[in-house]
Amino acid sequence: MMKWQNVKWIYLREVRDQLRDRRTLFTIAVLPVLLYPLLGMTFLQVAQFSREHTTPVLVLGAGSLPETPRLLDENKFDTNFSSERDAKLFDLTIEPGLPAGVTATELRAWAEQQIHDGTYDAVVYFPGEFGERLNAFRDAMKKEQRESDSKQPETTRESVPIPEPELFVNTASDKSRMARERVESVLTRWRDSIVVDNLRDRRIPSVATKPFKVVSTDVARERSRRAAVWSKILPFVVLIWALTGAFYPAIDLCAGEKERGTLETLLCSPAERSEIAWGKLLTIMTFSMATSVLNLMSMGMTGAFIASRIAVLGGEVTTKLAIGTPPPAAVVWLLLALVPLSALFSAVSLAIAAFAKSSKEGQYYLMPVLMITLPLMMLPMMPTTELDLGMSLIPVAGVMLLLQALIEGQYLEAVRFVVPVMGVTSLCCLLAMRWAIDQFNKESVLFREGEQWGLGIWLRSLIRDRRETPSLSAAVLCGVLLLLIRFFAGFMFAKPETWAGFALTTVISLVGFIAIPAVLMSILLTRSPTKTLLLRAPRFDAAAMAALLALALHPANVAMGLLVQKVYPFSSDIVEQLKAFESVINGAPGLWAVILVLAVAPAICEEIAFRGFILSGMRHMGHKWVAILVTSVFFGAAHMILQQSLTACMVGMVLGYLAIQTGSLLPCIVFHMTHNSLSMVMAIGVPKLIETYPGLSFLFSDGEAGTLYQWPAIAVGLVLGIGLLNWFRNLPYEHTKEESLQEALDHQTVQLPAKS
């Protein structure tokens, strides 16, 4: 039983050591206090030099402009279309026609060169007959108005074509893009003035072009507007610093102690490994929370100071920055949420730091952790993301959405999802802590020897140091390669519209992109491809029981798929793809063809790769269920569509269990094939059977999602499935001598010292 007194002493020891470390103090305390004031000071200094620069613009063909309405007034745009302030931002060069020696066909290249050289930011060209054609068009409209109202202005526009002005800009240049916005604004107002004149000539009121205006009234209170802004900023800042503040102390407490040689002393103490891990976890949590709080306080005080200084500028800038201070309740909610999130980040950082051989190696692991965590932090900041059941089940993202709801005062909305959010966060925290404790219990992890690593050295070692089954790194490599191949293969093949094309593409993808890579890696990276791929005969009744298990669990799998679709509904694009897939399936010559392509082929190819090569390598992790879970995640991710990935991951758990309990791939293939065949029969054959035999309605029902099982069938299937899983649990699988030895090595842990 774990003694919390030991945890307390370890915690106090680690905190004292960290407070003596100058690097930790600088990262945790000094850097936050100095960083934001220095950034604010730099911002204020730079703001003194920021001003709007004039835009050099060349106007060609000014001699062809109409006299009314006047666009140019001497060497600037007319004040009717450009205010005095805006007119000062233009440095106009006006030419009555084209430059000397430049023809209309050469104008584009000439203008491009002028903009590229920086002579002008934009070039405006009015063709030679622009003013004459425009006046002719207006005269024709007046004539039509006097003679008859039967003709439409479109007829006049076609009979009197007006050459279009051209605006040459370089969108790769910021200055040129700014020039385009300024010039287009002036030309748009000038064109609108011409439209008003044309309407007046035809005795049509100008209001006809805009019969009404949409008045936008903001009903949000000032407090709500401020809360909406801060609810996006504060959770992100707190979480990113909580992660950063946890990672560096974790590296020093684990990998750093390995380098200093003090870890062995701690391991020889009477404290158990779990107590050591918990003590280090609490230490990391303390510094994680301190880092986040100090950064938040420093950023808040610096931001308030900068806002007060900028207020003297007035105008639009001050209006945009005047978001005010965050609501006082926001600080309370952030501190409450910081505890479980710091625990989660600290547990993950502790496990990774325990695995690292050195501090340098541990720092390399920060980037993968950030790449996984940042998307979860950015997702809640998207405008279309809302707090619902599906989002509440996503780690980190659910907490951020819950914080946003609490900061904005949407308490009823937050109460609905506080249980799933905190439940998922607590579960992830416990799993991460269990992983960290497991790392501390493995001698092979705590005392890994330093080694020189290089891609060539690593690849040669994979072949030179081959074992009967693949290593863990080889299994991960295979899983990643299969996912990458599957992803890019989706762009290589066009979506077939016929059954023949679909069947050919599917079989080629399964065989060429899943089965063959796994078989080749088994041959190259292992000494026994037969053992790696579990190509051994199981008990004679195992395959039959696997088929019966698939039949029993299929109703529950269908119900779970329906539940997943309700929590995470299909997007419109996915719905269109599924409809196209259904139309292709309807073109199959028969149910047997669908089963061959979508049941038999995937069962063989996917089981060879996932339950064969990948699971065999994952078993070197030392825990059966961890290996099954990781393999199932790879298997689910290979299905690409989120809803299918979740259900496939659950099916993969059962398949992995069968593979380990039977020691053979055949029951997995039979289960997989039976499961997929039942899905095809449910979609194609069962609706026809129900029409022929209405009595089957006690087993099946027709819903919006297709043919579904009735609840009695689901309940009976679950009971039968649990019994069959228990049968496989008691299945006597005899391990070979090599497998027993390898399993002992994979589970090798440090010997706990005797208690004094």
Model confidence pLDDT, tens digit, residues 233-262: 888 888 888 888 888 888 888 888 887 777
- CA 323/CA 227 separation, integer angstroms: 9
Q: Would you say residue 319 has pLDDT above 50?
A: no
- pLDDT given for residue 737 in this prediction: 46
The model's confidence at residue 676, banded by pLDDT at 50, 70 and 90, is: very high
The least confident of 3-7, 32-36, 289-293, 419-423 is: 32-36
Q: Would you say residue 25 has pLDDT above 80?
A: no
Q: Would you say residue 276 has pLDDT above 50?
A: yes
Residues 614, 477 contacting (CB under 8 angstroms)? no
741-746, long-range: CB < 8 A, 24+ apart: 742/467, 742/468, 742/469, 742/620, 743/619, 746/619, 746/620, 746/621, 746/622
Secondary structure string (H, E, C) spanning 630-666: HHHHHHHHCCCCHHHHHHHHHHHHHHHHHHHHHCCCH
The model's confidence at residue 140, banded by pLDDT at 50, 70 and 90, is: confident
- CA 523/CA 515 separation, integer angstroms: 13
**∠ CA 211-212-216, rounded to 5°:** 160
Q: Would you say residue 211 has pLDDT above 80?
A: no
**Which structure tokens are listed for 52?**
């709007």
- CA 670/CA 603 separation, integer angstroms: 8
Query: Average pLDDT of 277-290?
Result: 90
Q: Would you say residue 81 has pLDDT above 70?
A: yes
Q: Output Rg (C-alpha) for the chain, integer angstroms.
A: 35
- Number of C-beta neighbours around residue 690 at 10 A: 17
Higher pLDDT, 666 or 329: 666
Query: Average pLDDT of 23-48?
Result: 73
The least confident of 109-123, 153-167, 637-651 is: 153-167
> In Å, what is the CA distance from 15 to each residue of 9, 279, 284, 338?
10, 10, 9, 19
Residues 294, 28 contacting (CB under 8 angstroms)? yes
Instruction: Tell me, rounded to whole angstroms, the distance of Cα 70 from its chain centroid.
Output: 53
The model's confidence at residue 545, banded by pLDDT at 50, 70 and 90, is: very high
Residue 213: left if φ>0, alpha if ψ -120 to 50, beta else—which one? beta
**Considering only CA atoms, which of 56, 61, 117, 65 is closest in space to residue 92?**
56
Q: Would you say residue 754 has pLDDT above 50?
A: no
Query: Average pLDDT of 650-665?
Result: 93
pLDDT (tens digit per residue) in 438-480: 888 877 666 665 555 555 666 666 666 778 888 888 899 899 9
Residues 340, 426 contacting (CB under 8 angstroms)? yes
Query: Average pLDDT of 718-740?
Result: 76
- CA 44/CA 602 separation, integer angstroms: 62
- Classify residue 619 by its DSSP letter: G
Query: Average pLDDT of 497-524?
Result: 91
- pLDDT given for residue 459 in this prediction: 64
- pLDDT given for residue 475 in this prediction: 92
- pLDDT given for residue 4 in this prediction: 80
Query: Average pLDDT of 396-407?
Result: 90
- pLDDT given for residue 302 in this prediction: 77
Residues 69, 193 contacting (CB under 8 angstroms)? yes
Percentage above 90 pLDDT, the chain: 23
Amino acid in the structure at residue 228:
A
Query: Average pLDDT of 597-620?
Result: 93
> In Å, what is the CA distance from 472 to each residue of 91, 359, 444, 621, 708?
67, 23, 14, 7, 40
**∠ CA 587-591-596, rounded to 5°:** 100
Q: Would you say residue 149 has pLDDT above 60?
A: no
Query: Average pLDDT of 119-146?
Result: 82
> In Å, what is the CA distance from 740 to each residue of 528, 534, 620, 743?
16, 16, 12, 5
- pLDDT given for residue 244 in this prediction: 85
Residues 553, 719 contacting (CB under 8 angstroms)? no
Query: Average pLDDT of 145-151?
Result: 58
Q: Would you say residue 126 has pLDDT above 70?
A: yes
- Say which residues have a Cβ less than 8 Å from residue 409's Cβ, sequence separation at least 6: 224, 227, 327, 329
- Say which residues have a Cβ less than 8 Å from residue 755's Cβ, sequence separation at least 6: 270
Q: Would you say residue 609 has pLDDT above 80?
A: yes
What are the backbone dihedrals phi and psi of residue 167, each rounded to the nearest 5 degrees, phi first? -120, 115
What are the backbone dihedrals phi and psi of residue 458, each rounded to the nearest 5 degrees, phi first? -65, -45
The least confident of 516-520, 712-716, 743-747 is: 743-747
Query: Average pLDDT of 591-596?
Result: 90
Higher pLDDT, 699 or 183: 183
Element (H, E) at 122: strand 122-125
- Classify residue 76 by its DSSP letter: E
Q: Would you say residue 579 has pLDDT above 70?
A: yes
**Which structure tokens are listed for 418?**
């506080």
Residues 249, 287 contacting (CB under 8 angstroms)? yes
What are the backbone dihedrals phi and psi of residue 72, each rounded to the nearest 5 degrees, phi first? -110, 140
3-state secondary structure of 171: coil
- Rounded to the nearest integer, the mean pLDDT of the chain is 82
Higher pLDDT, 453 or 205: 205
- pLDDT given for residue 457 in this prediction: 64
pLDDT (tens digit per residue) in 296-314: 888 777 777 776 666 555 4
Amino acid in the structure at residue 420:
P
**Considering only CA atoms, which of 312, 309, 249 is closest in space to residue 282?**
249
- pLDDT given for residue 160 in this prediction: 62
- pLDDT given for residue 690 in this prediction: 67
Residue 415: CA count within 13 A, CB half-sphere: 4
The least confident of 111-115, 316-320, 596-600 is: 316-320
- pLDDT given for residue 159 in this prediction: 56
Query: Average pLDDT of 11-39?
Result: 78
**Which structure tokens are listed for 386?**
């809302």
The model's confidence at residue 756, banded by pLDDT at 50, 70 and 90, is: very low
Instruction: Tell me, rounded to whole angstroms, the distance of Cα 576 from its chain centroid.
Output: 23
